[in-house]
Amino acid sequence: MSTYDLPSQADGKEIPYGVYDLTDNSAWVSVGIDHDTSVFAVATIEKWWQKIGKEKYPGARRILLLIIITADGGGSNGHRPWLWKYELARLAKATGLHITVCHYPPGTSKWNKIEHRLFSRITHNWRVSLIANTTTTIGLTVRCELDPNLYPTKIKLTDQQKESIPLTRHEFHGEWNYTTEPLLE
């Protein structure tokens, strides 16, 4: 059984997804209660942009996401799921940003800053109000919010939706490194 700040959600499950900003040692964490899906992952990035990013980087035209992939190369933000790429293109359209993604290859977690600098700290503070108060002596600050939205699983994109994703694969390992522009209509 998991616990939350809100008694009505005490029997739920917690799914943390975070955005860690290397430039100032700060983070945004959304704690979902439904499923770890590509839509939830991108919703967290969008929430970070709306609450923190656009004010912190007002002239930004692009953002770089360093995505950590588990050993099997899967997950909601893996390099294979089309829904992840589609949702990123939707976010690019909503924000006007070009979003560059660089996936860490399997077996490289020792370079994973979000795991070492953020999630290793917040695992001691699983309640939402406590995650938001996570700090370190070297200045980590964390903002956190419960995401009560439902994120259905098994969403399949049509071939037309896949083809509409404006994805530019980079020359070096284009399967792991790519840029998406605003979604084409």
CB 142 within 8 A of CB 148: no
Which residues of 42-124 form beta strands (DSSP E)?
Answer: 62-67, 98-103
Q: What is the predicted pLDDT for the residue at 69?
A: 41
Q: What is the mean pLDDT of each run of 10 residues along the chain (185 residues)?
A: 37 76 84 90 94 91 66 65 93 92 71 56 52 59 89 94 94 90 73
Q: Burial code of 145-165, b = ≥16 C-beta within 10 A, e = fewer?
A: bbbeeebeeeeeeeeeeeeeb
What pTM was estimated for this model as a whole?
Answer: 0.79
**Which pLDDT value is given to residue 109?**
57
Do 96 and 57 touch, CB atoms closer than 8 A?
A: no
> What per-residue confidence (pLDDT) applies to 103?
82
CA distance 183 to 165: 6
What φ, ψ does residue 140 adopt, rounded to 5°?
-60, 135
Structure tokens at 135: 């700090």
